[in-house]
Amino acid sequence: MIFMRKILFNILLLSMIAFFAIISCKKGSIETNYNPSLNVANNQVIAERAYSQVFNIFFMVVSDSLLKTTGSNQIFGAECTYQDTNGIVYVIDYLPYYTSCPDGKVRKGVITATLDKNFSEEGAIATLSFSNYVVDDLKLDGDNSISNAGISTGLQTYEHDIASATLTFYDTVSHGSYKWSSAKVFTWVEGAVTPGNYEDDVFEIAGSSSGSDLYGVEFAAITDEVLGDYFSCRWIRTGRTYISTPGLDVQSGYIDYIGEDTCTNQVIYYFNGNPFYDQFDQH
């Protein structure tokens, strides 16, 4: 009898050990580290916003009739010049020191746009280069081009191509650089009937991008729902972007811009169906 009780006790003990081992294993399997995925999504949002603002500033400058007439004008906080004697060149100069801009951001440095023909003509291509161009604590490097792609389904479209950009942070939290490339189509959906008034201008952005984040994680992104680029808002307001990160445990997710009814700096990242809120005070 004692022998049988020992056998039963050992069986019960082994069963309990196996049970807790299974529970421990399951617990470990659901403890996912989402931080690498969130870092990627964060870098994608910052790059998307930074380069959409480059498009917006360029669009305001090349659309300014006074600048083309007089050769100089102040536009969106920048001292801008225009000349067409040796090709068409626009210089957007935020001076050596930080300049406060209407969107609440501060900028310095120079954007130079060289065009092959008047930008109002279909097929015109502008090559943009940066010289120490910094927005708040974010420095942009790398040439990019904006072209007049003509009318599509009754609306004016432009293409913004970024072959290879480097974005560098200078703050104490995120110091470092990451890479980004992008091919986007900007469709002018509101504001075309009020030239010179940019507050009512809205563009829809669609396309793809890719890069490697601050920690070297490679990613790709594509717009699932067009992004809403409102000139009256310093952030992208609406739309959704899918993110692919094949080198991470969590290999996909999406970014949801949630400012449908208002200008907001908040976004939601979804990974494995879990929402993560973020907001940007600067970018």
Phi, psi dihedral angles at 157 (to 5 degrees): -125, 155
Judge whether 147 and 117 are in contact, CB under 8 Å.
Answer: no
Structural domain contains residue 191: yes
Structural domain contains residue 14: no
Structural domain contains residue 161: yes
Q: pLDDT by residue (tens digit) across 232-249? A: 999 999 999 999 999 999
pLDDT over 80 at 124, yes or no: yes
Closest CA to 222 of 203, 244, 204, 197: 244
Give residue 174's pLDDT.
Answer: 62
Number of domains, the chain:
1
Structural domain contains residue 10: no
Q: pLDDT by residue (tens digit) across 69-103? A: 999 999 999 999 999 998 999 999 998 889 999 99
Task: Give the residue ranges of DSSP H helices in 32-152.
Answer: 35-62, 65-70
Structural domain contains residue 18: no
Structural domain contains residue 262: yes
Closest CA to 128 of 91, 77, 80, 168: 91
Measure CA of the first residue to CA of the last residue in the chain; give whole Å.
76
Structural domain contains residue 221: yes
Q: Which of 36-40, 124-128, 260-264 has the lowest mean pLDDT?
A: 260-264
pLDDT over 70 at 261, yes or no: yes
Q: pLDDT by residue (tens digit) across 136-155? A: 999 999 999 999 999 999 99
Provide the residue range defining the domain that includes 71: 36-279
Contacts of 67 (CB under 8 A, 6+ apart): 61, 73, 75, 80, 81, 82, 90
Closest CA to 236 of 200, 197, 265: 265
Average pLDDT, the chain: 89
Give residue 31's pLDDT.
Answer: 82
Rg, the chain, Cα only: 25
Model confidence at 26, pLDDT cuts 50, 70, 90, reads very low
Contacts of 221 (CB under 8 A, 6+ apart): 44, 208, 209, 210, 241, 242, 243, 244, 255
Contacts of 79 (CB under 8 A, 6+ apart): 72, 93, 94, 95
pLDDT above 70 coverage of the chain, percent: 87
Structural domain contains residue 6: no
Q: What is the dihedral of CA 204, 229, 206, 144, to 10 degrees?
A: 120
- Name the one residue in this structure whose structure tokens are 């996912």: 32
Pairing of strands 78-83, 88-93: antiparallel
